[in-house]
Amino acid sequence: MVAKLWLRIVTVMLGVLLIGVAQANIPTVPNELYEALKLDREKTSPKELYEAVVKRYKDPAQGAGPGTLAKYWEPIPYGIYLDPATFYKAPTSNKDVASRKECVECHTDESPVWVQAWKRSNHANLDKIRSFKPSDPTFYKKAKLEDVEKNLRSHGKLAEGEQLKEVGCIDCHVEVGAKKKADHAKT
């Protein structure tokens, strides 16, 4: 009898936990992250969560940046690669201010391999993902794309009902969903 009672209590507790998870905005984000950021899981929108994560990521008190001994050393190239937010500086040799389309056009001449790699990737062919059939081994990407679009909508970067056309050079190297032209010296 006693064993059965325990079983019942544990089942109820698990049920409560599961309900908690189901109500959360992004189920894959662990509770520890909300706790570390002092956010209420039930009340935080994806946008607020994103902004809090970015703020913490860039906070020197949390270890961001080169550190207090930075004046005594310089990063090796691999260190720059690993922490571009702190160390990377875009080349200033190119003064262009370019649109989404112009990035691709000029780089087709300047760095054709990078453009080819992009053109053959899913990033340049999102409609292909949308047309996947359930029998396709990469069908799961369709749901992922829809998740990304939902997330972008909650950030105000995609209108209601609007679909993501591509993930272009400018989206990664400048700003996601950039509509205006971008200064090359800051890419």
Of 104, 129, 158, 164, the residue at the interface with ligand HEC (CB under 6 A) is 104
Q: Which two tokens stand for residue 46?
A: 């994806």
In the chain the beta strands, taken as DSSP E runs, fall at 97-98, 182-183
Tokens of 165: 């056309």
Q: Does residue 103 bind ligand HEC (CB under 6 A)?
A: yes
Residue with Cβ nearer ligand HEC (15 or 84): 84
Considering CB under 6 A, how many residues would be counted as binding ligand HEC? 28
Choice between 25 and 187, CB closer to ligand HEC: 187
Binding residue (CB under 6 A) for ligand HEC from 24, 33, 56, 107: 107
- Burial status of residue 169 (CB atoms within 10 A of its CB: 0-12, 13-18, 19 or more): buried
| Distant-in-sequence, close-in-space partners of 153: CB < 8 Å, separation ≥ 6 | 159, 160, 162
Our CB check for ligand HEC shows the closer of 91 and 137 to be 91
Backbone angles phi, psi at 49, to 5 degrees: -65, -45
Stretch that binds ligand HEC, among 54-62, 68-76, 99-107, 140-148 (CB under 6 A): 99-107
How wide is the angle at C-alpha 35 spanned by C-alphas 33 and 41, nearest 5°? 85
Q: Is 115 among the residues that bind ligand HEC (CB under 6 A)?
A: yes
Among 49, 118, 157, 164, binds ligand HEC (CB under 6 A): 118
Chain Cα centroid distance, residue 107: 24
Query: Is the Cβ–Cβ distance between 41 and 32 less than 8 Å?
Result: no
Q: Does 111 bind ligand HEC (CB under 6 A)?
A: yes
Residue type at position 93: S
Is 153 an interacting residue with respect to ligand HEC (CB under 6 A)? Answer: no
Rule CB under 6 A: say whether 83 interacts with ligand HEC. no
Does residue number 164 form part of the binding site for ligand HEC (CB under 6 A)? no
Q: Does 141 bind ligand HEC (CB under 6 A)?
A: no
Q: Retrieve residue 47's tokens.
A: 């946008």
The contact set with ligand HEC (CB under 6 A) reads 90-91, 93-94, 96, 98, 102-104, 106-107, 110-111, 114-115, 118, 123, 167-174, 182, 184, 187
